[in-house]
Amino acid sequence: MDFASFLIQTLNSLQYGLLLFLVASGLTLVFGIMGIINLAHGSFYMIGAYLAFVLTSATGSLVAAIALGIPLALAFGAFLEWALFAHLYKRDHLEQVLLTYGLILIFEQLRSLLVGDDVHGVAIPDFLDASIQLTEVMSYPVYRLAISVVCIVLAVALYYVIQRTRLGMMIRAGNDDEHGQPRADHLLRDRGHRRHRLGVGRARRRADRRLRRHLRQGAHPRTVRHRRVCGDGGGPAVAPRRHPQERLRP
């Protein structure tokens, strides 16, 4: 393989990696923050694709479809959260798996009923429908590069929101560990965090409450204090001693 091809293949893999990041970030956020294993993530992805198709057919423009699609997706997500997922936060992962697997089947049938089983595509908007000549026979579609730029912008924005804003702090404060219990180290860290004192009331009250419960459930006060001193509580000895049964408790 010549050097030009090598560079193009590198570009291909970066581009594909960014695309996978975009899809995977949703899954990770939902699992990491809400503690929900969403097997239907692929179905949500599919709904997005079909929304783009239906709205582009209706409005004649992909940009308009995206502008309309985002609030629609948000509304749909909020509805599902209210109707289904809200009941699952306190249950174990097996039940979440059961529900989200059921959703896959339901979404698939609904899609078949509503849009049919034919193959569809969305036309690339004119301003992106060009190619950059790379070698004498190969050119690179501008659309793919544009997608990569969108992915990078989203990645940076996501980092900024989660690490640098009040909203992000609330999200992190609500971040539960894999047993549906808050990580005491996060709670403590956030509690002591200067910016936190500026008053993210709800998250803080929640953190306080969880900390108290931790103490009640047998974490030795000294461990907790020790952790506050250490800041991040990274060592293995600091996990609060809990009976396995308690995992299931709210």
Interacting residues toward other proteins by CB under 8 A = 1-2, 4-5, 8-9, 12-13, 15-16, 108-109, 112, 116-121, 123-124, 131, 133, 135, 137-141, 143-144
CB of 53 to other proteins, least distance (A): 9
CB of 137 to other proteins, least distance (A): 5
Quick one: 117 or 234, whose CB is closer to other proteins?
117
Sign of the CA dihedral running 130, 132, 138, 141: negative
CB of 110 to other proteins, least distance (A): 12
Cα–Cα distance for residue pair 178/175, rounded to 1 Å:
10
Cα–Cα distance for residue pair 31/34, rounded to 1 Å:
6
Quick one: 59 or 109, whose CB is closer to other proteins?
109
Name the 3-class secondary structure at 139. strand
Quick one: 5 or 59, whose CB is closer to other proteins?
5
Tokens 């047993």 map to which residue?
179
Which tokens is 233 given? 């509580």
CB of 201 to other proteins, least distance (A): 46
Helices (H), 89-179: 93-115, 142-164, 166-173
Quick one: 49 or 64, whose CB is closer to other proteins?
49
Quick one: 113 or 237, whose CB is closer to other proteins?
113
CB of 61 to other proteins, least distance (A): 15
Quick one: 131 or 163, whose CB is closer to other proteins?
131
Name the 3-class secondary structure at 131. strand
Tokens 């190619």 map to which residue?
131
Cα–Cα distance for residue pair 41/27, rounded to 1 Å:
6
User: Distances from the Cα of 166 to the Cαs of 26, 161, 182, 202, in angstroms?
Assistant: 20, 8, 19, 12
Answer yes or no: are the C-beta atoms of 175 and 186 closer than 8 Å. Answer: yes
Side chain identity at residue 17, one-letter code: G
Quick one: 118 or 236, whose CB is closer to other proteins?
118
Q: ∠140-1-128 over CA atoms, to 5°?
A: 5
